[in-house]
Amino acid sequence: MSSKYEKLPLDPFFKTIDELKPKFIDRLRKAIAIPSVSSDEGLRPQVVAMAHFLVDELKTLGFHDIQLKELGTQPPPVVDANLQLPPIVLGRFGNDPAKKTVLVYGHYDVQPALKEDGWSTEPFTMYHDEKNDILFGRGTTDDKGPVLGWLNVIEAHNKLGWELPVNLVVCFEGMEESGSLGLDELVAKEAKEYFKDVKQVTISDNYWLGTTKPVLTYGLRGCNYYQIIIEGPGADLHSGIFGGIVAEPMTDLIKVMSTLVDVKGKIQIPGVYDMVAPLTEKEDKLYDDIDFSVGELNAASGSETSLHDNKKDILKHRWRYPSLSLHGIEGAFSGAGAKTVIPAKVVGKFSIRTVPDIDSKTLDQLVFKYINSEFEKLGSPNKFKVELIHDGNYWVSDPFNESFTAASKATQDVWNVVPDFTREGGSIPITLTFEQELGVDVLLLPMGRGDDGAHSINEKLNVSNYINGCKTLGAYLHYYSKA
């Protein structure tokens, strides 16, 4: 990626963001104080309160056509059969037909958090560690900080008296941490309505790879999740009486699951690797300058168990090659002590992380065919079934397109460094939904660092990432408007 580009005169905007820093920190403090945990039915009113907090902020900043899209009743499993899904917040800023329209997506719900989980401070009372200039609290980095970052960009433009260089559409949801229920349908429904003029979608709901260098993310792996069900005896049996004289489901399951992947992480199912897109020289070069090391992997895993001894192999196996992980066995004895039971029915769970150009349905067929043949080899009288639980496709974009080029310029302008171009091993399914339903490209433009602890205790956002993140989001809109 070239570092040669024509700088835009954005210094007044950057200076205004710096001046508004105390107000922006206070805005985040107010948002963190609302415990908008989507997975806790008892806290659903707080999730709705967070939606209304955003609506009030949008009104104050001069957004128009603000809508709360109700999504109806939450499907089971739920305790309250009448539990309503939290609304999706839509708003517009500007509607100049001569300007490009950018949609920004974020979520206002958060993961559960309790002080007794091991937090050093109250999770819903934002704590500003002034010595290290870090903000602690649930949602600081995932995703309230980035969501408010877009609002802060508007406020800085308003204060300066500058016109926003694009029309901005916001789409904020309240169920991202609980499966984004209702969002896909809403995007499809509004593709030719509320979102009809959108030319580009930007999502700030991911993180830098490490802690020192900004990144732009152009790919995500998908995930196909499977289960193997083996049933034998009519009830759990005593191994002293039945051991050695009945076919044990657990023995069959261990045998079958042990054939799926080897100890080096190589998938043993024939045909999977044949579908993987070949590595091009251009893509391979993107890995050269990425700031990452085996030491960082060891620090992140808390062990020295890496299967690869160099940066490029680690990152390629995290981002562009498929992986198969064994997750657990339902129905088996898993407590402390020594229980001598033969389980009557066991369910083995595993998933495959998918990458370009793996076709999900073809993968299912390969998986089912292979596992069925492995079970047949056992000659077992037990009942056997393998099935798909859920799947989500991979996503990959062109890191050399207009929006990534604009984001690279914006990042260089703010951070004085060419960002690393990364992919991620996990999934953000909504990325693909926006791309397919709106027919536009999607950019992942992260604000936080790799050590922010998004779903963990002591979630944090460095003030420098919050403030420079706001500058980067705003600068991106300016560079993209000129692309």
Name the one residue in this structure whose structure tokens are 């001069």.
Answer: 62
* Rounded-to-integer distance, Cα 123 and Cα 129, Å: 14
- The rounded distance, in Å, linking the Cα atoms of 189 and 119 is 41
Q: Considering just the CA atoms, what is the radius of gyration of the chain in Å? A: 25
**Exposed / middle / buried, residue 44 (Cβ in 10 Å: 0-12, 13-18, 19+):** buried
Which of 57, 109, 252, 391 is catalytic? The answer is: 109
CA distance 93 to 76: 37
Contact predicate 409/191, CB 8 Å: no
**In degrees to the nearest 10, what's the CA dihedral of 113, 431, 351, 348?**
60
Looking at 142, 155, 176, 420, which residue is catalytic?
Answer: 176
Separation of alpha carbons 59 and 425, rounded Å = 38
Map residue 422 onto helix, strand or coil.
Answer: strand
Q: Report the DSSP pairing between strands 341-342 and 237-238.
A: antiparallel
Q: Sign of dihedral through CA atoms 5, 9, 13, 15?
A: positive
Q: Which two tokens stand for residue 181?
A: 């229920």
Long-range contacts of 357-365 (CB under 8 A, 24+ apart): 357/275, 357/276, 357/277, 358/222, 358/272, 358/275, 358/276, 358/322, 358/394, 359/275, 360/222, 360/224, 360/391, 360/393, 362/271, 362/275, 363/224, 363/272, 363/275, 364/224, 364/388, 364/391
Instruction: Write down how long the chain is.
Output: 483
Specify the residue for token string 């995500």.
Answer: 220
Beta strands at 198-203 and 441-444: parallel, antiparallel or unpaired: parallel
Identity at 212, one-letter amino acid code:
T
Contact 151, 53 (CB under 8 A): no
CB 181 within 8 A of CB 77: no
Residue 380 DSSP code: -
Catalytic residue check, 176: yes
Verify whether residue 190 is a known catalytic residue. Answer: no
In eight-state DSSP terms, residue 248 is -
- Catalytically active residues, by annotation: 109, 176
